[in-house]
């Protein structure tokens, strides 16, 4: 080992063997630093499985690097001198190793990047912060695309990314089969029970078992079940999960992307986001595998295009959008939503069958699929006027794939329209009809989806009109949704009054969440 090695901190979502900070380095000139720190584990009270997944994946990653001959300095959460923060741990590591330089890849989150940018002033040795090239679109490319545009429509960004990657393109710059986006073919309601093949389960090994005990001991008051813990925690396992998706589920991924079935938590989704986001899977490689499935005739174009669009379209766009609008995005509340998140988001105790099933899946798996997050949980928060701070905290805490670069634009922009329409051209607001069409939830719900107002009516029905009515000033001029006001006006005062009174009665009945679910209670 060199007497003044290069110190390479690797954060919990940078578990990629080809990460830029390792490139060009040798096992003899570098020390890799990995840190389990209290600050990261508690800035919101993450779901127990999320902490377990990250700690276990970090410990396995460190073990693999050591097996490959690298020197890894691994700080465990319970180590005596652990300072509890990235900055504190890098400072201590500098004392231990006297490095010639610190090399780190930029953080994915604003909060952490602010801390990293203070390191050059804090530490006596040089600090180099490298771009994260695991994303396909650089910050500069996104800014270049966004500048001078009136609206940042994802579809146009996505086309640029198709051209850049060459995915599903024919030779002369045109999309394969002549169309960029086949979303219209991807809106099938569920058919019967839909016995989609389940994702593979991974039995916890000794490293994971130790982490599960640690999480139970230290984070017992956090939301969510710790067991069964089935997530992949190594690259090998994550690849096995991806193999199963490409072998068994991608074929039906497209058509049933928006379908919801009570008790069926995976359906045809890939369930790969927690592993992509912590670095165990490469997003571009996954898209190339999807394209290959199409070329080999194993999956139809609408499924493959849909999957690729989610990754090189939505995922990349969301990341660019986050950095473009931070730090203001975090506090945006253009609809002035002030209601507290209801307690049932944490307990699952509600008679609304759709919500209780989505919250159950969230609690059991630290996961819910996209349309559940968007059109059930998100739609409810939008219509009920839940304040964006509470909603952000909830989504950030409860999902194994949640980091604020991806959670925040989805919450603030996509579900709450709290950014005033920079991300979505209209609010994703819907009555019970939509949920009934796309799921089997309503038939056994204690509310009636066909009843519009009064006792026993599906709460989404009056909430929808209450939302439209209270935001008329802003929404009536929106070309995608404004026409709905002629339906509202045709109802007349009496019918409108019934909708508004039903909604208000329901809203008054909501019990606000007790403090301490999402964040530790502050002592006065």
**C-beta of 458: minimal distance to ligand SF4 in Å?**
3
If 0-12 CB within 10 Å is exposed, 13-18 middle and 19+ buried, where does residue 6 land?
A: buried
- Of 407, 423, 431, 460, which lies in the binding site for ligand FAD, with binding defined by CB under 6 A? 407
Of 384 and 402, nearer to ligand FAD (C-beta) is: 402
As a whole number of angstroms, the longest Cα–Cα distance in the chain is 82
The per-residue DSSP string of 295-319 comes to HTTSS-HHHHHHHHIIIIIIIHHHH
Q: From CA 357, how far away is CA 368, in angstroms rounded?
A: 10
**C-beta of 512: minimal distance to ligand DLZ in Å?**
26
299 binds ligand FAD (CB under 6 A): no
| 146 three-state secondary structure | helix
- Of 107, 207, 449, 475, which lies in the binding site for ligand SF4, with binding defined by CB under 6 A? 449
* 456-475 residues near ligand SF4, rule: CB under 6 A: 458-460
**C-beta of 33: minimal distance to ligand FAD in Å?**
26
Which does residue 275 touch among ligand SF4, ligand DLZ, ligand FAD, none (CB within 5 to 8 A, set by kind)? Answer: none
Picking from 123, 102, 112, 98, the residue whose alpha carbon sits closest to that of residue 37 is 112
Backbone angles phi, psi at 74, to 5 degrees: -110, 120
Backbone angles phi, psi at 155, to 5 degrees: -55, -40
35 binds ligand DLZ (CB under 6 A): yes
**C-beta of 133: minimal distance to ligand DLZ in Å?**
16
The per-residue DSSP string of 45-104 comes to T--HHHHHHHHHHHHHHHHHHHHTT-EEEEE-TT-TT--SSHHHHHHHHHHHH--SEEEE
Q: From CA 217, how far away is CA 233, in angstroms rounded?
A: 20
Whether the bond between 390 and the residue before it is cis, its omega within 30 degrees of 0, is no
> Taking CB under 6 A as the rule, which mask of x and - marks residues 185-214 in contact with ligand FAD?
------------------------------
CB atoms within 10 A of CB 496: 15
- Of 391, 408, 442, 475, which lies in the binding site for ligand SF4, with binding defined by CB under 6 A? 442
The per-residue DSSP string of 180-239 comes to S--GGGS-PPP-TT--PPPPP-----HHHHHHHHHHHHHSTTSSS---S-----SHHHHH
352 binds ligand SF4 (CB under 6 A): yes
313 binds ligand FAD (CB under 6 A): no
**C-beta of 406: minimal distance to ligand FAD in Å?**
4
Which does residue 374 touch among ligand FAD, ligand DLZ, ligand SF4, none (CB within 5 to 8 A, set by kind)? Answer: ligand FAD
389 binds ligand FAD (CB under 6 A): no
Which does residue 518 touch among ligand FAD, ligand SF4, ligand DLZ, none (CB within 5 to 8 A, set by kind)? Answer: none
Q: From CA 355, how far away is CA 426, in angstroms rounded?
A: 23
> Taking CB under 6 A as the rule, which mask of x and - marks residues 76-115 in contact with ligand DLZ?
-------------------------------xxx--x---
- Of 441, 465, 499, 517, which lies in the binding site for ligand SF4, with binding defined by CB under 6 A? 441
**C-beta of 58: minimal distance to ligand DLZ in Å?**
6
**C-beta of 338: minimal distance to ligand FAD in Å?**
19
The answer to whether the beta carbons of residues 466 and 500 sit under 8 Å apart is yes
* 180-209 residues near ligand DLZ, rule: CB under 6 A: none
Q: From CA 381, how far away is CA 376, in angstroms rounded?
A: 9
Which does residue 410 touch among ligand SF4, ligand DLZ, ligand FAD, none (CB within 5 to 8 A, set by kind)? Answer: ligand FAD
Binding-site ranges for ligand SF4 (CB under 6 A): 352-354, 432, 435-436, 441-442, 445, 447, 449, 458-460
Binding-site ranges for ligand FAD (CB under 6 A): 269-273, 276-277, 307, 310-311, 314-315, 318, 369-370, 373-374, 378, 395, 399, 401-402, 406-407, 410-411, 414-415
């Amino acid at each position: 080992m060199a007497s003044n090695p290069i110190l390479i901190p690797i954060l919990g979502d940078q578990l990629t063997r080809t990460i830029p900070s390792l490139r060009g380095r040798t096992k003899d000139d570098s020390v890799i630093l990995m840190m389990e720190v209290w600050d990261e584990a508690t800035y919101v009270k993450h779901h127990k499985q999320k902490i377990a997944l990250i700690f276990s994946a970090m410990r396995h990653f460190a073990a693999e690097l050591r097996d490959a001959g690298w020197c890894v300095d691994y700080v465990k959460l319970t180590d005596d001198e652990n300072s509890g923060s990235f900055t504190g741990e890098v400072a201590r590591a500098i004392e231990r190793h006297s490095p010639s330089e610190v090399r780190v890849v930029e953080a994915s989150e604003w909060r952490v990047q602010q801390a990293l940018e203070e390191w050059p002033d804090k530490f006596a040795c040089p600090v180099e912060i490298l771009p994260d090239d695991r994303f396909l679109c650089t910050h500069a490319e996104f800014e270049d695309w966004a500048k001078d545009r009136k609206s940042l429509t994802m579809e146009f960004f996505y086309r640029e990314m198709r051209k850049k990657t060459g995915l599903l393109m024919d030779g002369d710059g045109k999309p394969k089969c002549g169309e960029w986006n086949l979303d219209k073919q991807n809106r099938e309601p569920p058919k019967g029970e839909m016995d989609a093949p389940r994702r593979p389960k991974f039995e916890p090994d000794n490293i994971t078992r130790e982490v599960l005990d640690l999480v139970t001991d230290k984070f017992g008051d956090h939301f969510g079940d710790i067991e069964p813990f089935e997530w992949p925690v190594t690259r090998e396992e994550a690849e096995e999960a991806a193999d199963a998706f490409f072998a068994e589920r991608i074929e039906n991924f497209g058509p049933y992307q928006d379908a919801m079935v009570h008790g069926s938590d995976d359906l045809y989704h890939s369930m790969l986001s927690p592993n992509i986001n912590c670095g165990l899977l490469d997003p571009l490689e996954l898209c190339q595998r999807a394209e290959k499935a199409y070329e080999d005739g194993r999956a139809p174009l609408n499924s493959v295009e849909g999957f690729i669009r989610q990754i090189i379209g939505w995922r990349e766009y969301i990341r660019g959008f986050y950095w473009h609008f931070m730090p203001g995005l975090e506090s945006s509340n253009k609809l002035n939503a002030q209601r507290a998140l209801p307690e049932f988001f944490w307990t699952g105790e509600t008679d609304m069958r759709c919500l209780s099933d989505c919250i159950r899946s969230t609690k059991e798996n630290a996961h819910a699929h996209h349309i559940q997050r968007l059109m059930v949980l998100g739609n409810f928060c939008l219509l009920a006027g839940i304040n964006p701070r509470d909603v952000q905290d909830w989504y950030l805490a409860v999902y194994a794939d949640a980091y604020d670069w991806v959670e925040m634009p989805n919450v603030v922009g996509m579900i709450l329209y709290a950014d005033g329409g920079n991300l979505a051209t209209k609010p994703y607001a819907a009555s019970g009809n939509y949920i009934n069409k796309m799921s089997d939830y309503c038939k056994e719900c204690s509310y009636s989806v066909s009843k519009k107002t009064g006792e026993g009516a599906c709460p989404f029905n009056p909430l929808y009109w209450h939302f439209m009515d209270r935001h008329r000033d802003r929404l009536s001029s929106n070309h995608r949704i404004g026409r709905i006001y002629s339906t509202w006006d045709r109802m007349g005062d009496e019918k409108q009054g019934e909708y508004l009174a039903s909604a208000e009665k329901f809203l008054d009945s909501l019990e606000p969440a007790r403090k301490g679910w999402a964040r530790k209670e502050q002592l006065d």
